[in-house]
Amino acid sequence: MSLLDAEQLYELVNKLSLDFFDIPFRHKVVFNHRLRTTGGRYIPSKKLIELNPKYFLEMNREEFIGIIKHELCHYHLHITGKGYKHGDADFKRLLKKTNSPRHCAPLPSVKKSYRYTYVCTDCLYEYKRVRMVNVKKYRCGKCRGILNKV
């Protein structure tokens, strides 16, 4: 599957805006290839929605539409002068009303595999880490015991 061009992306966002919010989307939407940890973001100063293209390519259509609806909630609340941030009651109400997700699912290509496992010698708590830990410098966060690499 290939990415949508700018016009197709705008048409999709505008259609979702009309279907779920009954208001047309009048600003700019783009794919941002630099987004890594999020499905999309809304930039209030530019009235710009940026979407992560990996979610379009790797996830199903419903997940991508959910991300667009989430960003449209930010957009429409900001345009109307209401609380558009994640903690605002207006934002939470609009998410629920439009059945938009609060968070997006992690990408399949980004799921981390742990390479190192450390065990505390005192409380036997197990730490899984992607990066190596200097066991001479760091101790167990629960009991201050000595860590051993497994």
CA distance 72 to 10: 12
Give me the active site residues, please.
71
- The predicted pLDDT at position 37 comes to 84
CA distance 145 to 139: 6
- The predicted pLDDT at position 1 comes to 66
Inter-residue long-range contacts of 3-8, CB under 8 Å, 24+ positions, other chains counted: 3/31, 3/53, 3/56, 3/57, 4/31, 4/56, 6/30
Whether residue 61 is found in the same domain as residue 125 = no
pTM recorded for the entire structure: 0.76
Q: What is the CATH number of the domain that holds 14?
A: 3.30.2010.10
Return per-residue pLDDT of the chain as tens, 150 residues.
Answer: 689 999 999 999 999 999 999 999 999 999 999 998 899 999 999 999 999 999 999 999 999 999 999 999 999 999 999 999 999 999 999 999 999 999 998 888 877 788 999 999 999 999 999 899 999 999 999 999 999 999
Domain that holds residue 57: 6-98
- The predicted pLDDT at position 111 comes to 72
Whether residue 30 is found in the same domain as residue 72 = yes
- The predicted pLDDT at position 40 comes to 96
Q: Report if residue 140 sits inside a domain.
A: yes
- The predicted pLDDT at position 112 comes to 73
The tally of domains found in the chain comes to 2
Whether residue 26 is found in the same domain as residue 83 = yes
